[in-house]
Amino acid sequence: MNTFRLITGIPGPSGFGSASTAEQVTEGIDATNLTAIITGGASGIGLETARVLALHKAHVVIAARNMEAANQAKQLILKDNDTARIDVMKLDLSSIKSIKAFADNFNALNIPLNILINNAGVMFCPFQLSEDGIEMQFATNHLGHFYVTNLLLDKMKDTAKATGIEGRIVNLSSVAHLHTYGGGIRFDNINDQRSYSDKKAYGQSKLANILHASELSRRLQVVLVLLFSSRLFYKWKT
């Protein structure tokens, strides 16, 4: 989407633009058989995504650091949609320990996972390190989502095989990915406080989100091709 369309809201080739609402985009969709995890689903874009997916009968799991806010979001959705299927689970994306616990707890539920929406994030915060010693914006916005995605990927693959419904992983980014440090991501200098810029650090985390999504797409397309080929071979042999 170019800047003019972004500002004016003029629809693009899809028929939707920046002025389109989530309800307009999802009109006519029946998500009864889908389960979605939304990180940061307690507020902002995440909350609206949770509300609309629940409106279309998806089972929504709000993964959030602030459980009080997450439960308030759940009640807000239920107030207007008393049949909504909403669960809340603790997830602090700046903590490797919390991410591992979240994935273990979700997998223990033994429910399917069709959609993972990596939405949560921090923005323009002063320099600080996560509990694992990583610059906070990069730790939360990218590494946390990278790790939780890896931990849930087998669950998503198993769900796709069992149901025949292709899964979706959505990484939220922004135009800020264009405004990063020179050369893009400073992999060898993530924690340098002396040259830290809150805006450029945010930009590099958003660029990492895009690169992660691109590589996931490439790798998972290969998996789908191999799976399809193996099924054809099995049918031919039998």
DSSP 3-state of 159: helix
Q: Answer yes or no: 181 catalytic.
A: no
- Residues 221, 160 contacting (CB under 8 angstroms): no
From the candidates 147, 181, 196, 234, which is the catalytic residue? 196
Helices (H), 81-143: 96-108, 136-138
- For the sheet with 115-118, list strands across it: 85-90, 59-64, 35-39, 115-118, 168-171
Q: Which of 160, 43, 136, 147 is nearest to 102 (CA)?
A: 147
Angle at 100 between CA 107 and CA 75, to 5 degrees: 65
Q: How many Å from the N-terminal Cα to the C-terminal Cα in the chain?
A: 48
Cα distance between residue 160 and residue 164, in whole Å:
5
CA distance 40 to 29: 23
Compute φ and ψ for 39, nearest 5 degrees: -75, 140
Residues annotated as catalytic (active site), given as ranges: 196
